Amino acid sequence: MLLNLPRRVKLVDVGPRDGLQNEKKPVPAAIKIELVHRLQAAGLKEIEVTSFVSPKWVPQMADNAEVMSGITRSEGVRYSVLTPNMKGFESALLSKPDEVVVFGAASEAFSQKNINCSIAESIERFTPVVKAARDAGIAVRGAMSCTVGCPYEGDVAPERVAYLAGLMKSIGIQRVDVADTIGVGTPRKVQAAMEATLKHYALNDVSGHFHDTYGQALANTLASLEMGVWNFQSSIAGLGGCPYAKGATGNVATEDVVYMMQGMGIDTGIDLDALIDAGLFISQALGRQPNSLVSRAVLNKRAG
């Protein structure tokens, strides 16, 4: 018997950013904008739209300003963008995001590969970003990569997660994502990473960001729910991966998370049918089937 599960969850769809940053072929800005519109129409209240990173490193996000300016914003929806440094923040500011996301890693090797600096240096870079954002009235989230495993270092100890969470807290980052970047986590390991994070952040300020490479993301979501975590990130149609984590597949599909929550009587505020249509839209634009078992099942049922 599962006791005391949250009655509602809040999902951040990271598909437009985490998903589309990983596509080999360029995706037109108009498609990205339409995807954001469909996600908000389906009931998503938080959408991670794009990132202000080096276009040499991640050319897929080079249209960041165009995408942000093309969105017709919906009241009550939070639009977030990734900003790894002041250069990114200054560009992002012109697009008026509601929240900026700095992103660090619990493993040194991943920090170097992803953002070209050590963990300590990353905190130095984030510090002025956090201050400038807060001064401008913009919320700040911190993504913590490799909280369970690292593609370069293997297992990551919970102490490394607690260390990073403590650093993020010390510079004023308001909430954090516990990310399983390469999807190697299993429930107990993910709970240990959550527990380490909860030494520094309140339950309301911690979210789960699980890639589904090994098919464990829903189990890890349930394991986090059991601890009272109620903020999760997921990706429409299971899009995604990280260019600096080879072999890692997308985040858990938003469709799959919503179906599981609905089945457990947990409110998401999301219309599953509209969500499935949004997933179909982006999958067709990319020339493939949605990477979501729930989507496939519902589409088969519709066809039948």
Residue 180 found at the interface with Mg ion (CB under 5 A)? no
Interacting positions 14-43 with Mg ion (CB under 5 A): 18
Among 33, 36, 58, 148, binds ligand HMG (CB under 6 A): 58
Cα–Cα distance for residue pair 257/254, rounded to 1 Å: 5
Cα–Cα distance for residue pair 45/40, rounded to 1 Å: 7
Handedness of CA 65, 169, 239, 35 (dihedral sign): negative
Cα–Cα distance for residue pair 118/106, rounded to 1 Å: 10
Residue 70 CA, chain-centre distance (Å), reads 21
As a whole number of angstroms, the longest Cα–Cα distance in the chain is: 56
- Choose among Mg ion, ligand HMG, none what residue 142 binds, the Cβ cut-off being 5 to 8 Å by kind: none
Among 19, 88, 97, 238, binds ligand HMG (CB under 6 A): 88
**CB nearer Mg ion, residue 146 or residue 223:** 146
Q: Are strands 154-155 and 149-150 parallel, antiparallel or unpaired?
A: antiparallel
* Region of 45 on the Ramachandran plot (φ > 0 left; ψ -120 to 50 alpha; else beta): alpha
Cα–Cα distance for residue pair 304/223, rounded to 1 Å: 35
Residue 122 found at the interface with ligand HMG (CB under 6 A)? no
Written as six digits, the tokens of 7 are: 């009655």
Answer yes or no: are the C-beta atoms of 127 and 171 closer than 8 Å: yes
**CB nearer ligand HMG, residue 101 or residue 260:** 101
Stretch touching ligand HMG by CB under 6 A, among 45-53, 68-76, 131-139, 217-225: 45-53
Residue 210 found at the interface with ligand HMG (CB under 6 A)? no
Closest-by-Cβ residue to ligand HMG is: 88
Catalytic, 242? Answer yes
**CB nearer ligand HMG, residue 213 or residue 292:** 213
Among 32, 50, 209, 294, binds ligand HMG (CB under 6 A): 209
What residues are labeled active site? 242
Contacts to Mg ion by CB under 5 A: 18
